[in-house]
Amino acid sequence: MTARIIDGKAFAAGLRARVGAAAAEVTAECGRKPGFAVVLVGEDPASAVYVRSKGKATLAAGMESFEHRLPADIAQGTLEALVDRLNADPAVDGILVQLPLPKHLDESAIITRIDPDKDVDGFHPVNAGRLATGLAGFVPCTPYGCLLLLRDVLGDLSGLDAVVIGRSNIVGKPMAQLLIAESCTVTVAHSRTRDLPEVVRRADIVVAAVGRAGMVKPDWVKPGATLIDVGINRTEAGLVGDVDPACAEVAGAMTPVPGGVGPMTIAVLLRNTLVSAARRGGVTLDAAI
């Protein structure tokens, strides 16, 4: 058996195309383009590259991009005042403050300052609560992208055993909530899980999000299981995931690194911004978005 390789790049391109078509409809009905605001504090090279790619993707989807680049020594109050202005700006549907922030800033206070209905990153505690209780809200982009890939590969996920390795607020916890909502039986595993290989071995779906290169080995994997690799680890051999590539000999389907989950994150960010604009403008979107 050789696993089907899940092409996240191609799926993300399709999602971006659907978002672009729907954004044109929202623009026509609302008389303005959906607007996405990004705040970048400091000159972290990786963050700067990511913000640039977000800006390009936003414009390509027919949306307005508002970038705010701020010095690394900005005061907490000044940054909070900018967030307040973006919250109140009717041209802005989505707000993202690029993380991590410089150490002197209170990251949690900034995240919770964002209007939950413009929090397209899905990190606000209100949106976390909405997800946990089944209410409509914004879900962090990476786990939602993983869910879209799983639905595309497997269709109905109901009744499947899923193991999420990692319990972060950004990926692990929301991923578990999404899978519960799909009627999966979900185990959240982590560094203190006893006999992790045995826990993983019973899963139909494995989502690995721990940041440890090649941790999931072929003998951990149930034959035919679907593996979603969220890990991005820089090694001497280049970028590698949390799943050993040799797992392709056992799994039914798996995402590559790079080219799997990564491209989905920005595509879902655009999708969330579009959803925000549609909600605020009273526009009904196609269910495929």
Q: Which are the catalytic amino acids?
A: 54, 98, 121
**Helix%, strand%, coil% for the chain, nearest 5:** 45, 15, 40
What is the rounded CA–CA span in Å between residue 229 and residue 216? 10
Residue 69 phi/psi, 5° resolution? -105, 120
Q: What angle do CA 261, 227, 204 make, to 5 degrees?
A: 140
Strands (DSSP E) found in 72-190: 94-97, 161-165, 185-189
**Amino acid type, 53:** S
Hunting for tokens 């526009």 — which residue is that? 283
What is the rounded CA–CA span in Å between residue 94 and residue 275? 9
For residues 133, 139, 144 and 145, what is the CA-based torsion angle, rounded to 10 degrees? 180
With beta carbons less than 8 A apart as the criterion, state whether 288 and 152 touch: no
What is the rounded CA–CA span in Å between residue 66 and residue 59? 10
